[in-house]
């Protein structure tokens, strides 16, 4: 995947994770909150990966 693809997927995962957290809190569903936090962290990692690729090239 390229730099832009990683950043886009990262943003999407962060957004989806935030939505899951909000729904989980609203419905008092702790499992959904945890899943949302996990997905948000995954998105943050993908964005970092995209930034590294941008700095070093897509061959990372």
Tens of pLDDT, residue by residue over 12-59, are: 999 999 999 999 999 999 999 999 999 999 999 999 999 998 888 755
CA angle, residues 17, 18, 20, in degrees to nearest 5? 65
Tell the residue number behind the tokens 């390229």, with chain if given. Answer: 2
Whole-number pLDDT of residue 56: 86
Whole-number pLDDT of residue 58: 57
CA dist., res. 45 & res. 50, Å (int): 9
* pTM score, whole prediction: 0.83
Note down the domain range covering 44. Answer: 3-56
The domain total for the chain is 1
Whole-number pLDDT of residue 1: 59
């Amino acid at each position: 995947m390229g730099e832009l693809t990683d950043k886009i997927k990262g943003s999407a995962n962060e957004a989806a994770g935030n939505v899951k957290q909000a729904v989980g809190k609203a419905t008092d569903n702790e499992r959904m909150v945890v899943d949302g936090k996990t997905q948000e962290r995954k998105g943050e990692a993908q964005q970092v990966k995209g930034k590294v690729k941008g700095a070093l090239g897509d061959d990372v």
